[in-house]
Structure 1
């Protein structure tokens, strides 16, 4: 069994606790939290399970890493604390752990040497012998591996479009949904996510990775952004009221330009209310999020994967879609040399577990 800790208990962390507990090759040995109100609570409770796991949450990162866990699922938010997330990940790498995570956006393409974040990561790997796999929260299979597999079914590829559609109304992360993304805020408020070149900072690595896999050179990366106001005030169970006139829907694209045309496109369509911007791409029925891949070439190939709202956790569908890939990568990474890996390195693996109908 591979000793594994989960660091963070937000939407991703809760799903990670469940995934690690269910995996036959992993043993959940610790849960690290940042909020003092979480300390002392059982991991089963924090993960939304209907049983205790006998693992009590702690905020003592030094003690947990000092026990030399073999793997770390780093699920703490990096959107609003990028420096803190980087420091945490480096500490885990220095402890010799395999680390799987998603918030270090510049490392979605592990071969991209242009960002300064690589230097401390490389130093930590060299010092401790750990490994790092950073996967997009889109999740990465929806904007990386699966589009390439679909593209391989045709003779030629002209355009690859990777589309994420999300209903935020069930999320419980107001810091991200309201301030980072701008839901409910006046349209003259510029959310940090939409600052010039920020979408490229976050998703440009995915575009570059796809271009690398396809063997094409990018002319540049462009961005497009559209926003729509709420026509009525809406009330959510998780985050309260969102007033009419505030941002209700957001749509943006990060476009890889080849030969002057958008050829590799990552598109996001996000809403706080499903009735806002009805003319934009919408979710399939009963889905909390969906991932649609369209490949245009000698033929058109399209597939949609929908995440249904999870039991007891409104955001669990989308979170599990990202977490399963991270957790399942641990066994493969443990058998490899220390280093920095991305979605083209880490293979998609068959399911490693069968759901328990009582606890899944």
Structure 2
């Protein structure tokens, strides 16, 4: 098992907790939070799992990193606390994903046909191909669905990255891998 920390419990962090917990090669060893009101709360509650995981959230960065986790999913709000995020990134191995969560964030980007969040691929040519994929999570929220799909890719890469040589890797460097474990399964 690969000891894994989730750093942040916002939009991406909640999905990261669920993905790490579901991955059979990973074990959630810590959850780092910025908000004092979240310190001591169980990771299962923060991740929306509806059951405890026995991992209490903490704001003690030094103690968590002293535990020498093999992987850190950095999901802190760098857009809200950029100086803190830069400091954080200097302390640990980082896997990060950025998502446009509202049209005002990048109004010049293409939008899906209904104007609501989706993954869209357009191949111009003959024939012209356009594929729109909608993902939802946390009560049919498409932003949360996009975050969950991104987190699935990130978390599925952890065991590959642990075995890789140290360095920075682009998404194109990391092989696409099928989801494993309980990720995506609905509970009765």
TM-score (norm 2): 0.89
Q: Distance in 1 between matches of 2:113 and 2:186?
A: 34
Q: Distance in 2 between matches of 1:73 and 1:52?
A: 20
Q: Indicate if the aligned counterparts of 1:48 and 1:312 stay in contact, CA closer than 8 A.
A: no
> In the alignment, which of 96, 99, 122 is matched to residue 101 of structure 1?
96
Q: Distance in 1 between matches of 2:126 and 2:140?
A: 44
Q: Indicate if the aligned counterparts of 2:74 and 2:96 stay in contact, CA closer than 8 A.
A: yes
Q: Distance in 2 between matches of 1:331 and 1:86?
A: 25
Q: Indicate if the aligned counterparts of 2:136 and 2:142 stay in contact, CA closer than 8 A.
A: no
1:326 and 2:154 aligned? yes
> In the alignment, which of 119, 122, 130 is matched to residue 294 of structure 1?
122
1:137 and 2:132 aligned? no
Q: Distance in 1 between matches of 2:140 and 2:16?
A: 15
Instruction: Number of aligned residue pairs: give it.
Output: 187
| Structure index of larger Rg | 1
What is the DSSP-based 3-state SS (H/G/I as helix, E as strand, rest coil) of the residue aligned with 1:292? strand
Shift of 1:356: 4.4
Shift of 1:82: 2.3
Give 1:20-31 correspondences, 5 Å limit.
20-31=20-31
Shift of 1:308: 2.2
> In the alignment, which of 171, 177, 180 is matched to residue 349 of structure 1?
177
TM-score (norm 1): 0.48
Q: Indicate if the aligned counterparts of 1:38 and 1:57 stay in contact, CA closer than 8 A.
A: yes
**Matching residue of 1:163:** none
Q: Distance in 2 between matches of 1:137 and 1:334?
A: 25
Q: Does the C-alpha gap of structure 1 residues 26 and 309 become closer, same or farther in structure 2, counting only changes over 3 Å? A: closer
Q: Indicate if the aligned counterparts of 2:18 and 2:49 stay in contact, CA closer than 8 A.
A: yes
> In the alignment, which of 93, 105, 114 is matched to residue 282 of structure 1?
114
Structure 2 residue runs without a partner (length 5+):
none
Which segment is superposed worse, 290-299 or 336-345? Answer: 290-299
**Matching residue of 1:3:** 3
**Matching residue of 2:44:** 44
Structure 1 residue runs without a partner (length 5+):
94-98, 103-135, 139-165, 169-176, 182-192, 194-198, 200-250, 253-266, 270-279
Shift of 1:338: 0.1
Q: Indicate if the aligned counterparts of 2:134 and 2:142 stay in contact, CA closer than 8 A.
A: no
Give 1:30-69 correspondences, 5 Å limit.
30-69=30-69
Shift of 1:83: 2.6
Higher relative contact order (CA 8 A, sep 6+): 2
**Matching residue of 1:75:** 75
Q: Distance in 1 between matches of 2:143 and 2:159?
A: 26
Q: Distance in 2 between matches of 1:54 and 1:334?
A: 24
Deviation string 1:75-103 (CA, Å, 9 cap, x unpaired) is 0011132232121111014xxxxx2112x
Shift of 1:317: 1.2
